[in-house]
Amino acid sequence: MRTIDHIHRSAWAWACSGIMIAAGCWYTGDTPPDPADAESSDKDLPHFDACMPSKVGAEDTSPAWSRPGQRLILTGRVVQSDGLTPAPGIVLYYYHTDTLGRYRHIPGEERSMPPDTLGRTHGSIRGWVRTGIDGRYTIRTARPGAYPGGSEPAHIHATILEPGREPYYIDDFVFDDDPLLTTRERRRRENRGGSGVVRLVHSGDALIGERDIILGLNIPGHASARPDTSGPEVGEDVPSFLPRHAFGPDKGTTACPMCKYGWFHGALLFVGEHSDTAALRAWLLFFESESIARGERFKACLIDGRPLAQGARDQGWEVLGRKLGLKHVALTTVPSFSDPSSEIDRLKLDPAVSGTLLLYRRGRVIGKAVNPRAENATFEWVRSRLDETRGEYFDAPGVARAP
């Protein structure tokens, strides 16, 4: 038997304009029915009057935008499986609770979904966007409330409809500052379509949450799903880890690079077993020059996971750091890339490659290269990715994360 959580996420379907879109439903009451009853009625949902409009654009404003509550703007791009190419013509359906954490049907509202005989409904705060040629979308709504009782973090459900494919749900939009988004909750996220954790910033009277959606990423059976490679993919968050800092601003500590420097831009170069010393020196000098040019908005860190004595590696990196005159780049080590004590094992890095390079923004991977070459073309690619992902809200003040 499926659990309530499973049913909530994916079991039911609703029909609208002849298109079946898989999505979770919930209940108008405080206590849902028994899971067995809910599962037995999967096929009993009615056709709803509040259907997808015939014309859907790249921007949508939900009814919650004009109601009391904290205004929220969700924006980003939908991109192909390479994490870069814009995907036009993609429909994103969303729905969420009101500020009290309930899905309320409001008779007379055009979008409101009437509950079925079991009380299941998506409520009135729901809508659709369809990406244009640039793959962009914008949703104006209000920040939802968590379910009564705080059973899970506040969230916004989302479903993707690609032309010619079966629709599929992606990870809910959840909020980095939500105290209900615990470490356990974060680690159980599936990263469907990429990470759904949004890191909010202030803009006028609204909060802004940016999220790029990667088509097919971590969607079982999707034709565009990529094979496993070294490290997290573009669109996924970089997990926290605790390397030993051999040289740099945090020397002598095990400061987590993502926890301390993950808000703006950064680069992580993981050194594998077949690394080349000359290439590593070139990368370090490049990172130092970019650190000087970009200031506090960029942080570079090298992480050595080769199976050598860690103390000797620490000493070697300190000698090299001094020789190259590095002032900003962090040189760190971990016992190995499979080491659980430093939590580096969570990144699922391949130690057999020469190196894995991850570029990030707001803690999320925006660029990735396995066996990156230390040459001008690669350096220019790094600069381009950093420049083109700054975005309108890069310097906006952020909302503090819950302790």
Alpha-carbon distance 319 to 305, whole Å? Answer: 18
Alpha-carbon distance 310 to 168, whole Å? Answer: 45
CATH fold of 244-388, please?
Answer: Glutaredoxin (3.40.30)
Write down the pLDDT at residue 27. Answer: 52
CA distances from 182 to 101, 211, 363, 398 (A): 18, 20, 16, 19
Phi, psi of 244 (to 5 degrees): -90, 125
Burial of 56 (0-12, 13-18, 19+ CB in 10 A): middle
Residues 6+ apart with CB under 8 A from 303: 243, 268, 269, 270, 271, 332, 333, 334, 344
Alpha-carbon distance 287 to 244, whole Å? Answer: 19
Burial of 174 (0-12, 13-18, 19+ CB in 10 A): buried
Residue with tokens 């209940």: 27
Burial of 281 (0-12, 13-18, 19+ CB in 10 A): middle
Write down the pLDDT at residue 256. Answer: 98
Write down the pLDDT at residue 26. Answer: 54
pLDDT tens, the chain, 403 aa long: 233 233 333 333 333 333 333 344 555 544 443 333 333 232 333 333 346 788 999 999 999 999 999 999 999 999 999 999 999 999 999 999 999 999 999 998 888 888 888 888 899 999 999 999 999 999 999 999 999 998 899 999 999 999 998 889 999 999 999 999 999 999 999 999 999 999 999 999 999 999 999 999 999 988 776 666 899 999 999 999 999 999 999 999 999 999 999 999 999 999 999 899 999 999 999 999 999 999 999 999 999 999 888 888 999 999 999 999 999 999 999 999 999 999 999 999 999 999 999 999 999 999 999 999 999 999 999 999 999 999 999 999 999 776 6
Burial of 256 (0-12, 13-18, 19+ CB in 10 A): middle
Look at the chain and count its residues: 403
CATH fold of 4-214, please?
Answer: Protocatechuate 3,4-Dioxygenase, subunit A (2.60.130)
Alpha-carbon distance 94 to 111, whole Å? Answer: 12
**Domain limits of the chain?**
4-214, 244-388
Q: What is the pTM of this model?
A: 0.88
CA distances from 327 to 248, 303, 330 (A): 7, 17, 9
